[in-house]
């Protein structure tokens, strides 16, 4: 639909084998008004500048935190922020993912 969805409580995190790691900063920087981006040829996409984008193949994408979802370390556009969440901007792949909603 090429539109943003609002969710003031949205957050991004990873769960690895026997651990929970690399959570993005608490809350969102833009009051959740750009929490999720809905577009029919994209996979799940979060944030106003596509802070976390998954391509339609559901395996690849990029991590660019800091625009809508806060960085735990560093700032938007810096490798320290990107690398903290996914290890790099785009040199990763997804083996399994889940999305939850409280609605």
**Helix residue spans in the chain (DSSP H):** 79-86
Q: DSSP letters of 32-59?
A: TTTSEEE-TTS--EETTTTSEEE-TTSS
Angle at 22 between CA 20 and CA 25, to 5 degrees: 115
pTM of the model: 0.81
Over the chain, what is the mean pLDDT?
A: 81
Tens digits of residue pLDDT in 18-36: 545 545 554 445 546 888 8
Average the pLDDT over 37-49 and give the result.
91
Average the pLDDT over 62-83 and give the result.
87
pLDDT at 83 over 80: yes
Cβ atoms within 10 Å of 98's Cβ, excluding its own: 5
Q: Which of 14-28, 45-59, 84-98 has the lowest mean pLDDT?
A: 14-28
């Amino acid at each position: 639909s090429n539109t943003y969805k609002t969710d003031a409580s949205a957050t991004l995190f990873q769960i690895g084998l026997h651990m929970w790691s690399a959570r993005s900063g608490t809350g969102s920087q833009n009051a959740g008004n750009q929490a999720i981006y809905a577009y029919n040829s994209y996979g799940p996409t979060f944030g106003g500048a596509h802070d976390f984008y998954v391509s339609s193949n559901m395996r690849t994408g990029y991590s660019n935190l800091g625009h809508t979802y806060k960085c735990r370390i560093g700032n938007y556009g810096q490798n320290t922020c990107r690398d903290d969440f996914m290890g790099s901007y785009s040199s990763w792949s997804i083996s399994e993912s889940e999305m939850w909603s409280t609605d």
